[in-house]
């Protein structure tokens, strides 16, 4: 019975979404909004298809994804490693936590001009910015995860006589993994945003650049096609991380 109603609502939800798209088409067809600002979904879709078949939209998409991915990977590894070191040492935490808390609200994109000043307009600069920006959520979440390991577990490992390295590997790391994954998820969002902004500013080839140029030359269908693609990318990365989280944290979802 519950399955049935769930399926019904899902179908209804999809129907609502389709209805909204149809509404969009209606608005566009009747020119209720200036078509320069709001092209119909049909034109956006056509631009999307054309972009892939005739244009190099696929290459641009790949470029953005690559940037985002490598930056995020470096950021996650660095953030997790540093976070583990800082989070498991109360001394380091006492000295570093205030400074890190102060840097937390700094907009990552504000570092872009500084990076340009140092590295120039290059792919290296973009990677540095993305890695640096995406590192903060991972770093802070990892520190928190390591700092909040159940003290009782430390007592248990003490009684069993584990070395410090083993304690970190067997207890602290698994205990902190939900936090680390949450941080990595946030980091991925940041990586995507920074990737787009860097492409816009530094003119690197990619989706960010594509949508900006489309807007500047008033090619609205191309613009919307790019935005839809970016939405799909955001959705895909979020789903991928969720799947990864589910596999790794299976013990969380099984609670009574």
Partner 1 sequence: MKSGWWKGLVVPVIVILLAEVAMRVEGSTSLSLAAPSDIAVALLRSIADTSLLAATRDTLIAAGAGLALGGLMGLMLGILFGIASTVDRLMEVSVELIRPIPSVAVLPIAMLVFGFGFRMEIAIVAFSCIWPMMILVRSAMAGIEPRLLEVARALRLSTWQRLYTIVLPAALPRIIVAFRLAAAMALVVAVTVEIAVNPLGLGYGILVAQQGLQPATMLAYLVWTGLLGWAVNALLSVAQHRLLGRAATVGVTR
Partner 2 sequence: MDAMTTSNAVISFERISLAYGSRAIISDLSLTIRRGEIVCIIGPSGCGKTTALRMAGGLVRPNGGTVRFMGQPLTVPRRDVAVVFQDYGKALLPWRTAASNVSLALEAAGTPRAERADRCYALLAKVGLAGHEHKYPTEMSGGMQQRIQIARCLAQEPSVLLMDEPFGALDAMTRQGLQDEMLALVAETGTTVLFVTHDLEEAVYLGDRVIGLLPRPGRIGIELNVDLPRPRNQLETREMPEFLRLRRALFDFIERAEQ
Q: Is residue 254 within the footprint of partner 2 (CB under 8 A)?
A: yes
Q: Between 41-53 and 2-29, two packed helices, what is the crossing angle to 10 degrees? A: 90
- Judge whether 127 and 64 are in contact, CB under 8 Å: no
Site for partner 1 in 236-255 (CB under 8 A): 238
Among 26, 32, 81, 118, binds partner 1 (CB under 8 A): 118
Burial 10-45 (b: 16+ CB within 10 A, else e): eeeeeeeeeeeeeebeeebeeeeeeeeebbbbebbe
Among 86, 212, 225, 241, binds partner 1 (CB under 8 A): 212
Cα(117)–Cα(24) distance, integer angstroms: 44
Q: Is residue 25 within the footprint of partner 1 (CB under 8 A)?
A: no
3 binds, among partner 2, partner 1, none (CB under 5 to 8 A by kind): none
Site for partner 2 in 115-174 (CB under 8 A): 150, 152-153, 155-162, 170-171, 174
> Angle at the Cα of 17 (from 15 to 23), degrees rounded to 5?
100
What is the DSSP annotation of 17-49?
HHHHHHHHHHHHHTTSS-TTTS--HHHHHHHHH
203 secondary structure, DSSP code = -
Closest separation between CB of residue 5 and partner 2, Å?
Answer: 27
Interface with partner 1 (CB under 8 A), residue total: 58
Structure tokens at 80: 């997790």
229 C-beta neighbours (distance < 10 Å), count: 21
- Ramachandran region, residue 201 (left: φ > 0; alpha: ψ -120 to 50; beta: rest): alpha
17 binds, among partner 1, partner 2, none (CB under 5 to 8 A by kind): partner 1
Closest separation between CB of residue 6 and partner 1, Å?
Answer: 9
- Judge whether 214 and 226 are in contact, CB under 8 Å: yes
Nearer to partner 1, 80 or 108 (CB): 108
Residues in contact with partner 1, shown as a per-residue x/- string from 97 to 116 under the rule CB under 8 A: xxx--xxxxxxxxxxxxx-x
Q: Which residues bind partner 2 (CB under 8 A)?
A: 150, 152-153, 155-162, 170-171, 174-175, 177, 249, 251-252, 254-256
Q: Which residues bind partner 1 (CB under 8 A)?
A: 9-10, 12-14, 16-17, 20, 36-37, 94-99, 102-114, 116-118, 189, 192-193, 196-197, 200-201, 208, 211-212, 214-216, 218, 220, 223-224, 226-227, 230-235, 238
């Amino acid at each position: 019975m519950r399955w049935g109603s769930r399926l019904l609502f899902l179908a209804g939800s999809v129907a609502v979404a389709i209805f909204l798209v149809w509404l969009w088409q209606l608005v566009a067809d009747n020119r209720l909004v200036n078509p320069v600002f709001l092209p119909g979904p049909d034109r956006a879709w056509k631009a999307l298809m054309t972009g892939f078949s005739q244009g190099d939209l696929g290459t641009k998409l790949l470029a953005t994804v690559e940037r985002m991915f490598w930056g995020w990977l470096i950021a996650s590894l660095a953030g997790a490693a540093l976070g583990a070191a800082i989070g498991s040492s109360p001394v380091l935490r006492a000295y570093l936590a205030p400074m890190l808390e102060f840097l937390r609200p700094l907009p990552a994109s504000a570092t872009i001009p500084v990076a340009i000043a140092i590295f120039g307009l290059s792919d290296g600069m973009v990677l540095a910015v993305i890695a640096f920006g995406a590192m903060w959520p991972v770093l802070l979440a990892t520190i928190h995860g390591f700092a909040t390991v159940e003290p009782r577990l430390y007592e248990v490992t003490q009684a069993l006589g584990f070395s410090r390295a083993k304690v970190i590997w067997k207890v602290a790391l698994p205990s902190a993994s939900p936090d680390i994954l949450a941080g990595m998820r946030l980091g991925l969002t940041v990586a995507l945003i920074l990737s787009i902004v860097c492409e816009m500013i530094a003119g690197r080839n990619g989706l960010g650049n594509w949508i900006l140029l489309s807007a500047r030359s008033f090619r609205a269908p191309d613009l919307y096609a790019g935005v839809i693609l970016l939405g799909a990318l955001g959705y895909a990365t979020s789903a991928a991380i969720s799947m990864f989280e589910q596999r790794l944290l299976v013990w969380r979802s099984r609670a009574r």
